[in-house]
Every structure is written in structure tokens, then in C-alpha cells.
Chains A and B, each alone.
Chain A
Amino acid sequence: MISRDLVIVGGGPAGLAAALAAYENGVKDILLLERDQYLGGILNQCIHPGFGLQYFKAELTGPQYAERFIQKINHIKEIEVSLKSLVVHLTKEKALTYIKPGAMQTLTAKALIMGTGCRERTREMIQIPGTRPAGIFPAGLAQKLINIEGLLPGREVVIIGSGDIGLIMARRFTLEGAQVKAVIEIQKESRGLIRNVVQCLDDFNLPLYLRHKILKIHGKDRVEKVTVAEVDDKLQEIPGTRFELACDTVLISVGLIPENELIEMAGVAMDEKTNSPESSELSTTSIPGLWVCGNAYKIYDVVDGVTRDSAQAGKLAAEYLRNLP
């Protein structure tokens, strides 16, 4: 079987930082596998500013932030980038199988770094009752539709959850001429960064309903309205507070889940609550020579932290490879 010194799964901010750091620390055989058709991961659809304030001491957009890494990686011939390459199988011996157009490849990694990112929690995971019409989107999908594809998913929007993506999408929809009817948050404060509450809601006079929850989604073919109510300290509906909001779109922004099905398949000890690896120190897992970094390791607020910690994982992998017999 083919063996590679270091394989990195994921070409988003985590994988990019890990690859660069590993190279800078002496690893000369790196394979970077990215399932999408371009590097940069979710940064590509984050066209708003606010990236890099800590790491680059500059305010960049997502694509600009990614570009700084992609430029470097593209000039390093020791880092082989394979796009449209989806890893479908992983063993505890770090043998991995990936699929790309026209080929299925199996190889062994001496060291392996997983930067597989995260996925959005869905409407189903919070079990909102009602119908299942068109017009219900995870906030990140709506972001991709608008920013990458130039498609506007809705005109009258209710956003469930006040996480950062939800807040940013409230502003984005408003800038596109859509009407954001409400951001509904079950907790008593926003889950997002304060700067996002100010810049994305307050600056546009968008209503944030704290301590409210969605009781039902209505609509046959397309979303028509939602039923909302205020909740008490136990997050239960307060009788008499029900009201309806007409809308054609519901965005779901209720949190992110690390994507770790591959390491789970390989037998890495997992924390079931967070869907991330059990880990004694940053990025380590129960399998020696296998690290997890970025949002797959834990959900970060800002990308600068992902870069910093993933670079550390790259360094650890380099050290590990140096010490191999």
C-alpha cells in the first residue's frame, strides 16, 4: 500500500494552517485532501469582513483570509493538493480510502490530521413541529446560495437562533432587499458575538426576540408563517403569549456540530455529547499520530483561533514524524 508521511483531510482554514505549519517544521511529504472543488472551505462563502483581526492584525473577508494561505500552499511543491477528494473510510492504522472523479485510492498515513470542519444543527434536531415546505434553510446553506451562487432564497425571513451565522445572514438578507421579520432566540441573550448583534441587527433595526421559541412551521408548498411564543425559565411556552409571523423563509441557526464520523469509524474515543474526540491536550486523540483540529476539534468563535491551534497540530505532527523510528 502507498504510504505518505502526512495526510491532512480538509482544505479549510484548519487544514491549510496545519499543512503550512507541518511544512515549515520539516515535513516534506504532505497530501492535502479537500472534498470541495476549491480550497478555503467555508471561508469562501463568508464575504463579510472581520477575519484576521487577531492573526493578521488586519480586517479581511473570508476569501481574502483563505487566499493568504492558499497562495503559499500553491507555491510549495511538497504539499500535494487533491481536490474533489472525499475520504470515505478510515482505520485505526490510519489507512484511508478516498474517492475522487475517476479514482478510488487507499493509502496509509504515518501521521494524519483531520480538519473536517462542522455541519449545522438542523430543524429536525430541535424538533420543530409543523409542515416541511420549501423555504426552510440551514443558515449556512442560505449564505452559500446568496454569496456563491447569486440566488436569493427568500423575501420575508424569520431566523431561528441567534448564533453568529444567523446574525450575519440577517444583515445579508437585509442588504439583498429581503425583509428580516425576526430573529428568535430561546435563551435570554444572543449566542453570537456582541459585535455581530450590533453590526448585523441593531444597525439595521432588526428585531431580536429573546426568550422566544418557534412552536410550529406552517405552509404547504412554501413556508407561509410561523407560530412563536415567549418562554419561561424552563424554556416552556408562557400561556397567552403566542403570535404568528408571516414569512416565506425560515433560517435555522441553532449551532454547529463537529464532523467526526471518520475518526469515529476508525475507533477514536469520542465525547458523545459534543461529537468531538476525547482529548487530553489540544488536538490529540486516542490514536497516536492522529490529530483533529479546527471546528472538528471544537467549535471556534473566530477563524483566527482555528489557524493558531491548527498550526500547533501541524507542528505536533512534524515532531511525531521526526521521532518515528
Chain B
Amino acid sequence: MKLFDVIIIGGGVTGAAMARELSRYKLKIALLEKEVELAFGISKSNSGIIHPGTQNPSLSLKGRLCAQGNQLMRGLAQELGVDFKEVGELIVIFQEEEKARLRSIAQEAEALGVPGLQMVDRPWLRQHEPNLSPDIVAALYAPTAGIISPYRLVYDLAENAMKNGVEIYTAHKVTGIIRPADYFEIQSTGGIFRSRYLINAAGLWGDEIANLVGIQDIVIKPRKGEEYLLDKKLENLTNHLVFPLPTPTSKGIIVIKTSDGNPMIGPTAQDGEDKEDLATTDQGLNQVLASAQKLVPAINRDDIIAYFAGLRAVAGDDFIIRHENQCPGLINVVGIQSPGLTCAPAIALMVIEILRQHGLSLQKKRRFYKNRKPFTHLFALPLGKANKVIQKNAAYGDIVCRCEMISAQEIREAIKRGATTLDGIKFRTRAQAGRCHGGFCTTRIMKIMAEELNLPCSEITKRGPGSEIIKASRENEANDIT
């Protein structure tokens, strides 16, 4: 049996960033993900904010890794061709007395080296952010805050890691881990793997994975966040990310800009027990709406075009990133809640350093492919450029998703790059994410999938087994007869 040097459990942004960073070295690496596609856990519900480092104490792991991650993300996005936009953030206050809190936030952030911080007053806000509530008296402006597509970042990291030799196994749920000698034997629903080092980046299930090797002191609780997306017509509702003053458990309800254009409002922060409870609620909607309207009064209930809930993996106040001496070779990377997306590239570097300290020999490959062939998104091109693309490849002119202008070629490309489900296609291309929510294009996408994946339509799922789109097909009935 093949002996891997490093196996990563978990295909969210943390796992994918570590896989990509480790793929620079002469190592045999595998990543195991229990879902049928990557980014289907916590990462798919991420807000997509690249935080500057203003939200966490300077002495916390979160604070340090966030400031570092914010800087690293720029280079990473460029190398991978991910759409990172630096839009800046405003943490706003409604009372003059709250200025002291803003100043202390600024001090913490400055200690982390967050650049460009500025206290801005009402006239500045009126000029640069005209839709903000007139009740807002001042704000802390952090220009280095940015936005990115969280799931596309995961897919692009993973794609590049694979190009550099990482083996990725989806639908491989880890069910047991033993350590028969100086290596781990990992049982999964897809087979047994062996590895010298093991990284636990299993998100909400990080405690269960740790338990498998006898580590009992990690407990992960889900904290639900509901997010509400607004119509793309409101793309310029705000020019910055707009935050209220943070509370001890959350950053509060934010007015978010997203890389797809739709503004987003949320998230709530509701502690719970059920790691699979992704239901939105009336209370959540009302809370998000009221809080967002306090920041930007023009927001209207009818502007909401989509919503979802995600779960944060909470393991205490800070991240847990450590080598387990009681189980040599195991590194836990758990409790990665916000600002985990921002931190991911910095976490990857930190984990590599831990691996080095614990005996992993790291030799750089002679040839590392740092770039990735970008995905052509027709909607992102000016018309003239789109015309050239269509003339070169006719299938780019075959529009499948009319709301978002996504062509058959882009659907096929997404499948070639790993999409196996309707959600996977939506996350990669935006097809079905527009105004009609797939009302017009779902059948066509299913047919393209059936063709490319060589499956009957009856086996096509939204997000894996159990989420088949249809219950019966005439094709099957015909097959039964013959």
C-alpha cells in the first residue's frame, strides 16, 4: 500500500490551502473529503470577506494569522486567477462615546501591522458612503479589507494542488484511524490510506476525528449564521463592507459586498447542537433585516433574492492549531471560524512550520506550477472580448443560464474541473444563481451533466447521494421493458 507523507482530512478552504502550499515540496500528499465535492461544508456559506485584522485581539492566533493572511491572499489570488477585490471596510458607531472603542480596535490592529487605518467622520462618510444611516457619527476605515468568492477559492486552490501532484479523494469519509507503527492507517468509506503525518482540518467534525485517535479535549460546537442575498441591481448599495461595533461572540450583522455583485446582509450568530441544521428562520430574517436597515436604511425586504444558513465550527475563543505530542505526527487545525478564510494561507504556512519542527523533511520541487489556467467567465468580459471568445469556441455562444449569461462551454469546463453536482456547477459558474434560481436552465444543465459524466438524468444530484433531482424517468421505464 502506498505510504503518503501527509494526509489532510477536510476539503474546505483550510484543507485546500494547506494542500496547495504543501504541494511545493517533494511529498506524497492526499486530501480526503467526506462530501462529494470540496467546499460543501463550512466554506460554502462563508461571507467571502478578506478581513484586514481589525476584529481580533493582537495576541490571538486569529489576529496574527488574519493580518498575515490578508497580505498573502493578494499574491495567492493573482497566482490562481481568483477574483480578489480590495474594497475596504468601515466599522461604524452611532454614539460619540463609542469612539474610545473604535480607537482601541485601531490600536490592536496597528499592533498587528494593519496598514492605512483611519478614523473618518460624518462628512467623509456622506461623501464616500452616501447610503449609510445619517445616525452614524463616525467609523474606523480599514482600506485593506477585501472580498473573494469563498468556494471558487477552494476549487482553485485544490485544482492547483492537484496540478502539483496532490491526490484529492471526495466522498471519502474517515471512519477510523489507527497508528500501528510510525504511520497512521486511515479507514475511510472509500478505502484505507496510510500516511506518516496526518492533518485534521475536518471543520465541524474536527472533534470527532480527534476522538478517533484518543484526543478528548477538543469540543466543537456549531454556531449558525443566516445570510440574505440582495438583488444584483443593488450592487452599488455600499462601496465598502459595513460593520457595526463587534460583540464578544460575533462581528454583528454586516452589509457585505460580494465578488458576484449581489450585496449580502448577515450573518446571525446562533449557538446550537445540531451540526447539520442549516435551516433559516423567520427570526433570523427579521433580525438580519432590522440590523442591516439600521446601517443602511434603504434596504428593503423585497430586495432579498436568496438566503442560506451556514455553521461556524467553534472550539473556544481562538483557533486550535497544534501538534499532538500524545499522537506524534498528528496536527489538529480545528475551530477555524471567522476569520478563517482570510487566515487560510497563513495557517498553511504555520502548519508547514509545525511539520518541519516535527521531523518532516521539506525539499522544494524543482518545478512548482504556481499559476492556474483561469476559468473564462463570459459575464465578466467586455462585449468585444466576449465576441472573440465566442468566435474561437462556438459553445461559448450557447447560453444555458440566461440570467447570469453562462454558456454550455462554461458548464462543461466546470465539470472537467471537478463539478459532479448541480451545486458544484452553481458555485463554480453561477449558473442557477440568478433571478430565476434555475427555473429556466436546470433541465439543460442536467442534460449536459448527463452527457459529460455519462450518467442517466435520474442519478444527477443537487449535492450528493440522497439529493437526486428527480424521482423517476421514462428512460428507466423503457430500459426495464427491454
Contacts and interface: CB of A to CB of B under 8 A. Distances in A.
Interface of A: 35, 84, 86, 88-89, 97, 99-104, 106, 119-120, 122-125, 127, 129-134, 138, 140-141, 144-145, 148-155, 178, 215-216, 218, 220-222, 248-249, 261
B304 A104 contact: no
Given A127-B307, A141-B438, A99 B390 contact: yes
Contacts of A220: 276, 278, 466
A17 B397 CA distance: 27
B462 A127 contact: no
B285 A99 contact: no
Contact of B398 (A84, A106, A123, A140): A84
Contacts of B111: none
A222 B467 contact: yes
Contact of B442 (A122, A123, A141, A261): A141
A99 B280 contact: no
A261 B446 CA distance: 26
A132 B474 CA distance: 27
B369 interface: no
Given A133-B467, A151-B474, A153-B471, A101 B395 contact: yes
B475 interface: yes
Interface in B465-482: 465-475
Contacts of A153: 469-471
Interface in B446-466: 446-447, 457-458, 461-466
Interface string B175-208: 0000000000000000000000000000000000
Central interface residue in A97, A104, A140, A248, by most chain B CB within 10 Å: A104
A148 B391 CA distance: 31
A152 B457 CA distance: 11
17 contacts: A84-B399, A86-B402, A100-B397, A102-B390, A103-B394, A122-B305, A124-B304, A125-B302, A129-B282, A130-B279, A138-B439, A149-B447, A150-B473, A151-B472, A151-B474, A216-B279, A249-B471
Given A124-B306, A129-B285, A119 B436 contact: yes
B464 A221 contact: yes
Contact of A103 (B304, B391, B443): B391
B124 interface: no
Interface residues of B, number: 54
Contacts of B281: 129
Contacts of B462: 133-134, 221
Nearest to A139: B439
B439 A218 contact: no
B386 A132 contact: no
A97 B382 CA distance: 12
Contact of A102 (B279, B391, B437, B469): B391
A106 B282 CA distance: 46
B278 to A, nearest CB: 6
Contact of B468 (A125, A131, A134, A215): A134
A134 B461 contact: yes
Contacts of B395: 101
B60 interface: no
Nearest to B440: A119
B387 to A, nearest CB: 4
Given A103-B390, A155-B471, A216-B279, A120 B397 contact: no
Given A103-B390, A215-B282, 16 more contacts: A99-B405, A102-B397, A103-B394, A104-B391, A124-B437, A127-B307, A129-B284, A133-B462, A133-B467, A134-B462, A134-B468, A149-B443, A149-B447, A154-B471, A155-B471, A261-B435
